[in-house]
Amino acid sequence: MSDQVATLRAEEEQVGLRFERRYDATPDEVWAALTEPESIRRWLLAEAVLEPRVGGAFSLDWSADDRADGTVRASEPPRILEADWPAQPAHPPGGIASDALAHEGPA
């Protein structure tokens, strides 16, 4: 785990907070942790359904009164995953965007 950046970003008509983190892991490792329901339960603390295709579902259940129906925006396994969920009364909106680069060492 290394750098963490939290910026207040303003892009065109949107204003929001963006948090960036780099992980010392392979693209496959990051992809699995982001998309396997038992992993999502551990780090996002929600029961999740994630369909890893553009337009696929990204449903999150934090509790009975706290759930969100989100959408997968980009999916190019194992490197790219983007998904977000809208605001609801119990939970702010949010999303994830992963762009994993593989660094090959010498053979």
Reported as type and span, the H/E element at residue 92 is none
Asked if residue 101 binds another protein (CB under 8 A), the reply is no
Q: In what helix (H) or strand (E) does residue 71 lie, and over which residues does it extend?
A: strand 66-76
What is the radius of gyration, based on Cα positions, of the chain?
A: 15
Give the residue, chosen from 7, 9, 37, 39, that forms a contact with another protein under the rule CB under 8 A: 39
Q: Is position 55 an interface residue for another protein (rule: CB under 8 A)? A: no
Read off the tokens for 28: 């496959």
1-9, 50-58, 78-86, 99-107 -> range binding another protein (CB under 8 A): 1-9
Nearer to another protein, 25 or 54 (CB): 25
Residues 62/35, Cβ–Cβ less than 8 Å = no
For residue 3, state whether it binds another protein (rule: CB under 8 A).
Answer: no
Which residues, in sequence order, are bridge partners of residue 80? 76, 99
- Please tell me whether residue 37 binds another protein under the rule CB under 8 A: no
Q: Which of 9, 25, 61, 66 binds another protein (CB under 8 A)?
A: 25
Measured between its terminal Cα atoms, the distance across the chain in Å is: 25
Question: Which residue lies nearer to another protein by CB, 44 or 74?
Answer: 44
